[in-house]
């Protein structure tokens, strides 16, 4: 299933759970309709590539993404704590964090939202992971760090390729420091075409992911890591407990704002919120517009932060991540979420 279908399923599960309905039957209906989950969902990709049980799949994927061959290959992985505490700054949580047999650190981030802070966030994550991997008592003995960012948007349309390897270099394009690498992958750019001749291992992985997201799995060799991933990505392999947990995370704490108001007073409420945010106290239409102005004023954040929150909600990012990146409260974000249909 694609992103929208996966989000729709979670919303349905949440509504069924809240109403005391038959959640098992609800999930069973989706399992009849769809065979696979949405790969690029944060929780899903953690289950597929970020747990010891699926280490062999992760090893193959990371070797492909980092173009590692021969003696440079990752042989095995140890998954480490994804949360990096901050002494003077907020903590940071990455999607997947692992160390290979050399204790080199590999970090995977899935980014759905394009905004002006995107590059800064990656540099920030890279810096924090560098500090987190320091050897005790040897502050300058830095380990290799590879941060892979799967972008669900085209962030660099002027760049011809879809895969970019970024390191510190001088004015003559000579590498200054090789131990810190950011690998950016513009997934939509790859999928839109022009890379049909790319038969690299990593391109094969991206095609396998896309096939599952579109319910059209590509043919793969039996017994390969691709085949194992396809098996693991079947919706039937994800437990009811996991799906209900994800549904409630996505929509708990007054999620009824979305469910109950999505068809009622939609036009007036949406216009009212827009006016409340943009114009403050303009005269409006009746109940819907007045409620919208009140909710808009209550958001208490600038227009830029609210627009970013809206984009992140559309991309189904977790509430806690939106709070982290926008500075808005959970209540603010749920209010914005109620305007989306």
Report pLDDT digits (tens) over 8-28: 999 999 999 999 999 999 999
pLDDT of the residue at 138: 64
Q: How many domains does the chain have?
A: 2
Upper half-sphere CA count for residue 187 (Cβ side, 13 Å): 22
315 in the same domain as 207: no
Mean pLDDT of the 256-280 span: 44
Does some domain include residue 67?
A: yes
pLDDT of the residue at 263: 36
Residues comprising the chain, all counted: 341
Lowest mean pLDDT among 27-41, 92-106, 208-222: 92-106
Q: Is the pTM of this model over 0.75?
A: no
pLDDT of the residue at 266: 43
Phi, psi of 45 (to 5 degrees): -65, -30
pLDDT of the residue at 301: 44
Mean pLDDT of the 159-163 span: 94
Between 341 and 53, name the one with better pLDDT. 53
Among 276, 267, 268, 335, which Cα is nearest to 303's?
Answer: 276
Mean pLDDT of the 83-96 span: 57
Q: Which DSSP state fits 214?
A: T
Cα radius of gyration (the chain): 22
Q: From residue 236, give the alpha-carbon distance in Å to each of 32, 42, 52, 225, 312.
A: 9, 18, 20, 19, 28
284 in the same domain as 325: yes
Percent of the chain with pLDDT over 70: 80
pLDDT of the residue at 328: 81
Does some domain include residue 215?
A: yes
259 in the same domain as 157: no
Q: Encode 277-308: b = buried (16+ Cβ within 10 Å), e = exposed.
A: beeeeeebeeebbbbbbebbeebebeeebbeb
pLDDT of 70 > 60? The answer is yes
Mean pLDDT of the 306-329 span: 81
pLDDT of 88 > 60? The answer is no
Q: From residue 171, give the alpha-carbon distance in Å to each of 174, 175, 183, 270, 318.
A: 7, 10, 21, 51, 40
pLDDT of the residue at 51: 94
296 in the same domain as 330: yes
Non-local (6+) Cβ contacts of 189 within 8 A are 154, 157, 162
pLDDT of the residue at 87: 40
pLDDT of 238 > 80? The answer is yes
pLDDT of 275 > 60? The answer is no
278 in the same domain as 164: no
285 in the same domain as 204: no
178 in the same domain as 46: yes
How far is Cα of residue 275 from the mean position of the Cα atoms in its chain? 31
Lowest mean pLDDT among 84-93, 177-186, 331-340: 84-93
Residue 62 belongs to what domain range? 42-233
Is residue 68 a contact partner of residue 42, using CB atoms and an 8 Å limit? no
pLDDT band at 289 (very low <50, low <70, confident <90, very high): low
Last residue of a domain, one of 233, 264, 291: 233
* Beta strands in the chain, from DSSP E residues, in sequence order: 77-79, 83-84, 92-93, 96-100, 105-111, 145-151, 163-169, 175-186
216 in the same domain as 72: yes
Does some domain include residue 328?
A: yes
Whole-number average pLDDT of the chain:
82
d(CA 10, CA 21): 14
d(CA 147, CA 159): 20
| Cross-strand partners of 183 | 148, 165
Does some domain include residue 306?
A: yes
152 in the same domain as 195: yes
């Amino acid at each position: 299933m694609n992103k929208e279908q996966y989000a729709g399923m979670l919303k349905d599960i949440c509504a069924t759970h809240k109403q005391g309905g038959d959640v098992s039957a609800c999930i069973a209906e989706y399992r009849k309709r769809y065979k696979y989950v949405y790969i690029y969902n944060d929780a899903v990709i953690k289950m597929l590539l970020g747990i010891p049980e699926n280490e062999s799949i992760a090893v193959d994927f990371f070797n492909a993404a980092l173009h590692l061959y021969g003696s440079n290959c990752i042989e095995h992985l140890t998954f480490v704590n994804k949360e990096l505490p901050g002494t003077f700054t907020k903590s940071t949580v990455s999607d997947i964090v692992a160390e290979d047999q050399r204790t080199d650190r590999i970090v995977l981030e899935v980014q759905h939202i394009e905004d002006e802070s995107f590059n800064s966030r990656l540099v920030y994550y890279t810096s924090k992971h560098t500090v987190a991997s320091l050897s005790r008592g040897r502050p300058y003995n830095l380990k290799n760090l590879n941060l892979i960012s799967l972008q669900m948007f085209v962030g660099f349309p002027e760049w011809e390729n879809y895969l970019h390897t970024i390191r510190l270099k001088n004015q003559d394009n000579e590498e200054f420091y090789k131990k810190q690498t950011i690998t950016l992958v513009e997934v939509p750019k790859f999928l839109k075409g022009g890379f049909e001749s790319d038969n690299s291992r990593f391109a094969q992985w991206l095609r396998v992911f896309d096939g599952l997201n579109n319910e059209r799995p590509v043919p793969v060799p039996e017994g390969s890591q691709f085949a194992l991933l396809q098996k693991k990505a079947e919706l039937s392999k994800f437990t009811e407990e996991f799906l209900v947990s994800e549904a409630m995370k996505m929509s708990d704490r007054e999620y009824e704002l979305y469910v109950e108001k999505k068809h009622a007073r939609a036009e007036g409420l949406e216009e009212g919120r827009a006016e409340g945010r943009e114009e403050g106290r303009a005269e409006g239409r009746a109940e819907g517009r007045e409620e919208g102005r009140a909710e808009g004023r209550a958001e208490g954040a600038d227009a830029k932060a609210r627009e970013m929150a809206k984009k992140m909600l559309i991309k189904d990012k977790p509430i806690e991540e939106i709070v982290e990146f926008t500075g808005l409260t959970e209540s603010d974000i749920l209010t914005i979420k109620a305007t989306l249909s």
